[in-house]
């Protein structure tokens, strides 16, 4: 006799296997996890450790409440709110995305997830602008809605998101990163960019 829970279990196993296959395809020679998600002060390190570097535009955003599940007991361990922004790819500098591909990127939904420029002013994503995204990918936790993809994409540390102004990248970062740079006495060469380094799109391509 088949129990009522078996179809759900089989579905979860199928999703997990599909996600593992996708991750295997996109993670060939992927950077080691311990080398990612840091506070970057050199452009070469940021590019080298990112799973994908994409030129893209914002097309959608959604805020979702996610129930956190204890990995041992399977019990509900709390709830968090995640802001998902969807981007359409113009150009893939690093990784396997193709032009017109769309992918969701996860952000914190509250104020710690706000991105600021070099002067500390909050800068939101706009559909009229072009961005360069430095991303890391992880297998999507099963409690996350499957419509956001089998891979959970997030920024690869700080700074990981830049507005493309001409050929120059103007970075946005969380405020604690900007505070860290100030404590370390690192000057910002461009006040519009929350980054201690300057780089152009062509220079990013040279570093991939």
Residue 55's Cβ-count burial label (10 Å; 0-12, 13-18, 19+) is: buried
Lowest mean pLDDT among 112-126, 151-165, 183-197: 112-126
Query: 194 versus 144: which is more confidently predicted?
Result: 194
With the CA atoms of 172, 178, 181 and 187 taken in that order, what torsion angle do they form, in degrees rounded to the nearest 10? Answer: 60
Residue 6 has pLDDT above 70, yes or no: no
99-139 confidence digits (pLDDT tens): 999 999 999 877 767 899 999 999 999 999 999 999 999 99
Residue 47's Cβ-count burial label (10 Å; 0-12, 13-18, 19+) is: buried
pLDDT of res. 72: 74
Query: 21 versus 150: which is more confidently predicted?
Result: 150
Residues 41 and 195: their CA atoms lie apart, in Å, by 7
Please give the share of the chain, as a percent, with pLDDT higher than 90. Answer: 71
Instruction: Give the pLDDT band of residue 13 (cuts 50, 70, 90).
Output: very low
pLDDT of res. 3: 52
60-105 confidence digits (pLDDT tens): 999 999 988 777 777 777 888 999 999 999 999 999 999 999 999 9
Average pLDDT of the segment spanning 155-183: 97
pLDDT of res. 29: 57
DSSP 113: G
DSSP 14: H
Predicted structure pTM score: 0.83
Residue 73's Cβ-count burial label (10 Å; 0-12, 13-18, 19+) is: exposed
Residues 95 and 151: their CA atoms lie apart, in Å, by 13
How far from 4 is each of 9, 19, 92, 145, 146, CA to CA, in Å? 10, 24, 44, 22, 22
Phi and psi at 82, nearest 5°, equal: -125, 135
pLDDT of res. 38: 97
């Amino acid at each position: 006799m088949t129990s009522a829970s078996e179809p759900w279990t089989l579905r979860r196993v199928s999703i997990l296997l599909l996600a593992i296959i996708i991750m295997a395809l996109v993670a060939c020679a992927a950077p080691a996890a311990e080398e990612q998600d840091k506070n970057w002060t050199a452009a070469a390190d940021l590019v080298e450790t990112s799973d994908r570097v994409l030129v893209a535009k914002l097309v959608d955003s959604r805020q979702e409440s996610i129930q956190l599940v204890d990995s041992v007991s399977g019990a509900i361990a709390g709830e968090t709110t995640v802001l998902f922004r969807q981007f359409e790819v113009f150009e893939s500098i690093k990784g396997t995305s193709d032009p017109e591909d769309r992918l969701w990127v996860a952000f914190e939904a509250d104020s710690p997830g706000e991105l600021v420029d070099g002067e500390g002013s909050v800068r939101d994503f706009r559909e009229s602008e072009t961005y360069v995204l430095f991303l890391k990918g992880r297998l999507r936790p099963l409690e996350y809605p499957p419509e956001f993809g089998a891979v959970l994409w997030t920024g690869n540390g700080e700074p990981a998101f830049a507005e493309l102004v001409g050929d120059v990248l103007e970075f946005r970062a969380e405020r604690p990163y900007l505070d860290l740079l100030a404590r370390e006495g690192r000057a910002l060469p461009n006040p519009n960019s929350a980054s201690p380094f300057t780089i152009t799109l062509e220079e990013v391509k040279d570093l991939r």
